[in-house]
Structure 1
């Protein structure tokens, strides 16, 4: 593998996603015969996997429509081994399409995807690139980041669909090569887009998009009626409920059937401030001492309409770690 595809490292990404040295991270992109999983097929899946041994690019190509089920199953098996997925609009297309095909093919009803870092959602909602660029298509962002010259493929996604139809009849290896080259370039180029996170309001982005805390994936953080709400999904679902965490009266609700969890923690409201009292938890919060908004065990999460995203995310991360410690795992 070309050394330019070595994994991008960032102190902030390590904070939110966990140390890359200890995580299996995959970059994902798929090719399909259409947009709807109800009447379209999975053609090809690409997966660039970062692990301690190095970087590996794997592709899963369905030689026929009859092979779709077997090919998709092999793809899902490798996805399941990952801790984090990196996609580009994966939430609304790639993963959604895969879920639809799993249902259509009666495959793996309890399959749970790893945490998905969707770079499109991060750029679209939490950076100025939307105002600077004509659109946020992956190739447009690649060009902005100076990556366009690294592409070798000669076709578009729409052309790959037409080529696959021809391949089904001809089995022409050159057509297969063109389709697979398009997919591999999409995956390899996407792997180089991670530095675009530097051009985003990253703390606000992760507050909005969520982040993983081991096998719990936080997807929503909100302030509501004097409480801090934390919601998300479970990678290893279980059912658990409690109304006390250490010396804090709160609500913890974990459901194995929906694979979701929710937590509500009381916060102090005073003079326009929303403050977390860390002293009531059996957890080391010394890492918060670096923030100006932390003093004597109290952390200001919100001041008026201004959310302190970095501090709030850090508090949520530590509290979620504490909750994991009391879960009957």
Structure 2
């Protein structure tokens, strides 16, 4: 086993400052926080081995990365023991999908080697993947991989491999080690991937404030209609209590959301079209064959039976030509507003845009919630 340690000044990465007033940075001191990631020769702890464990932590104005590397086939037990000893001095450990893979893997290895896994199981744990994955579409990311979040915060890797591809690299390194003493380029490739996972997490941690958006106190200030070319939009403005002057924006289903200096701006396109309002109680309606419309049975009962039949759910609607705006979910909107759709099973929902809506504080407060949850 070989241990590698790297030390970097804080300004080398996007690292915590006073604006990081969110969990876990508003709960723990920096020297109580650590990150970890493992590299293995397979997915199953029963049939593979861990060959690299990386630990990142803050220390006196620096960010340190410590790596335990198995340069033989007998170091696994010692690596795990030293890693567990190292994390005993921290109060919270952060990882990316570690709750699903890394932690269960280490626990199985502890059982095999008769090691007490308490340091890993008793420390507070935060899986950044579980926390951030639902924000990937909000941020316009192509997937939920750590690398995608890294690119969003402006971090680009030198490492070009994924964990699966490195299995063969490690096998080749070990083969060359026993033949001619090793290969420094292969070793660098193996260490770099794990190192960049650790430093990547330390930068992506800046996005953990996103968890506060859904519960953020926002105050609706105003809404107005603007025209840009042939299109009309509603511009809604809010003030918010988000710690720090965050400036970022995202779009969700063509709804633009922007945070800037404790303000939130939402731009919603107004659509002029014809949509359908479907009746929930379709069993109380008849379909009028000649008119291609529906009529409530309390009225239709007075018509001839041969001109009507029981309405089907998909045809029990009325159409309306008007101006509409999209909503993300029906939710409480369906209790107070008619929800329009293009077809019965459509997942796109709309409410009619009426001038008085611009003054409706309750509507726009809920609209914000639906955009960020």
TM-score (structure 1 length as normaliser): 0.55
Where do 1:1-329 residues align within 5 Å? 1-2=8-9, 3-5=11-13, 7-9=15-17, 10-13=20-23, 17-18=27-28, 20-21=29-30, 23-52=31-60, 54-111=62-119, 112-125=121-134, 127=135, 129=137, 132-148=140-156, 151-171=157-177, 172=182, 173-201=184-212
Describe the SS at the equivalent of 1:28: strand
Q: CA RMSD in A?
A: 2.5
Q: CA deviation digits over 1:187-235, x for unaligned, max 9?
A: 1111100111133346769xxxxxxxxxxxxxxxxxxxxxxxxxxxxxx
> For residues 11 and 203 of structure 1, do their structure 2 counterparts lie closer, same or farther at Cα, with a shift above 3 Å needed?
farther
Describe the SS at the equivalent of 1:200: helix
* Structure 1 residue 147: Cα displacement: 1.2
Q: CA deviation digits over 1:7-49, x for unaligned, max 9?
A: 414222257633x25x421111110111111111111011111
* Structure 1 residue 113: Cα displacement: 4.3
> For residues 143 and 91 of structure 1, do their structure 2 counterparts lie closer, same or farther at Cα, with a shift above 3 Å needed?
same
Describe the SS at the equivalent of 1:197: helix
**2 CA distance for matches of 1:32 and 1:15?**
30
> For residues 15 and 146 of structure 1, do their structure 2 counterparts lie closer, same or farther at Cα, with a shift above 3 Å needed?
closer
Q: CA deviation digits over 1:234-257, x for unaligned, max 9?
A: xxxxxxxxxxxxxxxxxxxxxxxx
Given that 1:123 and 1:130 are in contact with CA atoms closer than 8 Å, whether structure 2 keeps it comes out as: no
Given that 2:50 and 2:76 are in contact with CA atoms closer than 8 Å, whether structure 1 keeps it comes out as: yes
**1 CA distance for matches of 2:114 and 2:213?**
38
> For residues 176 and 50 of structure 1, do their structure 2 counterparts lie closer, same or farther at Cα, with a shift above 3 Å needed?
same
TM-score (structure 2 length as normaliser): 0.49
Partner residue of 2:249? none
Q: When the two structures are aligned, how many residues end up with a matched partner?
A: 201
**2 CA distance for matches of 1:123 and 1:113?**
23
**1 CA distance for matches of 2:138 and 2:129?**
10
Given that 1:79 and 1:113 are in contact with CA atoms closer than 8 Å, whether structure 2 keeps it comes out as: no
**1 CA distance for matches of 2:14 and 2:153?**
17
Describe the SS at the equivalent of 1:13: coil
> For residues 107 and 133 of structure 1, do their structure 2 counterparts lie closer, same or farther at Cα, with a shift above 3 Å needed?
same
Partner residue of 1:210? none
**1 CA distance for matches of 2:186 and 2:136?**
39
Given that 2:22 and 2:208 are in contact with CA atoms closer than 8 Å, whether structure 1 keeps it comes out as: no
- Runs of 4+ deviating beyond 6 Å: 202-205
Describe the SS at the equivalent of 2:148: helix
The structure that has the greater radius of gyration is 2
* Structure 1 residue 78: Cα displacement: 0.6
Describe the SS at the equivalent of 1:11: coil
**1 CA distance for matches of 2:42 and 2:57?**
26
> For residues 80 and 179 of structure 1, do their structure 2 counterparts lie closer, same or farther at Cα, with a shift above 3 Å needed?
same
Which consecutive residues of structure 1, in runs of 5 or more, have no partner in the other structure? Answer: 206-305, 307-329
Describe the SS at the equivalent of 2:74: helix
